[in-house]
Amino acid sequence: MSSHHFGRSSFVRRLYLASALLLSVALASCQSMDLSRSDVRAGLIPPSKAPALSVGAEVVAERMPASIVVDMDSGRVLHADDADGLRHPASLTKLMTLYLLFEAIEARRIGLDDAMPVTAFAAARAPSKLGLRPGETIRVRDAMSGLAVKSANDVASVVAEALGGTDDAFALAMTRKARQLGMTRTNFANPSGLPDEAQISTARDMAILGQQIRKRFPQYAALFKTEGFEYGGRHYAATNKLLGRVAGVDGMKTGYVNASGFNLVASARRNGRGVIVVVLGGRTGRERDASVEALIDTYLGPGS
């Protein structure tokens, strides 16, 4: 998928939205976070005095490598290479879209068999997509597979509109949740990861998100290791090609836009130990996958 430049007015509007969110977060700084103090001590979360995100204040590296390996159980950082450098997350974004969907299901604001309407806006999102049409509906359980397995951008907007009204409003909720989870250097501008200059994150922040999904919503772990699913009479294969090929890999999500390069958040468990591995900025999907596999072998031992 090729990125394209957005108009200055669009970017300024998004900067305004991000600034408004950061102000609201600052005013609500006394609110508790979902992570424990032990997670902070383990080094997974940057210290509370870490600089607040200011969109546009730093250069976002394009197609540059960054990586982190985190012990899934203790949260201890085992490896870090430019883990706090700003990058475009691409479709790793959908992990947060899913997180908020899981929260809505948990709170019984929406059910697995509820039908979500497809608007013309959602149907018009660029590929990758399921090809949903305006006026159709999609069940929540099918949308979950569409996001986690196929990485469908039309589905991401369907979920955003169902839960937040619009992509922009939902993106604000995504960024607000990121702050609550300790993701201090992340800003979401849309629910899919489609190209946007204001859509930024880091390898460390994505590791936090991956670990929190595994810790808070273990009932959905199988979703992220699904190698394919059927929808509308078609079979969709998982974008994560390590599934079923690399021993112990059991999730989570790939991402690619031209400005980001090839990204992957992967979870793996071998010999009673688990890790979250994040690799950003791969030059090719094969290179990215090889880097993730090598890091898994290094910190969990070779697969059988």
φ, ψ of residue 164 in degrees (nearest 5): -120, -10
Which residues make beta-bridge pairs with 68? 80, 278
Query: What is the layout of strands, in order, in the sheet containing 66-71?
Result: 77-81, 66-71, 273-282, 261-270, 249-257
Q: Catalytic site residue 38?
A: no
Catalytic position from the list 67, 91, 260, 267: 91
Give 173's contacts (C-beta < 8 A, 6+ positions apart).
100, 163, 164
Catalytic position from the list 145, 151, 157, 201: 151
Report the distance separating Cα 196 and Cα 6, nearest Å: 7
Catalytic position from the list 67, 94, 128, 129: 94
φ, ψ of residue 161 in degrees (nearest 5): -70, -35
Residue with structure tokens 């699904």? 226
The H or E element containing residue 24 is helix 8-27
Q: Catalytic site residue 94?
A: yes
Query: Using an 8 Å Cβ cutoff, are 25 and 174 in contact?
Result: no
Report the distance separating Cα 200 and Cα 190, nearest Å: 11
- What the block records as the tokens of 180 is 């609550």
Q: Catalytic site residue 267?
A: no
Give 221's contacts (C-beta < 8 A, 6+ positions apart).
214, 250, 251
Catalytic residue annotation: 91, 94, 151
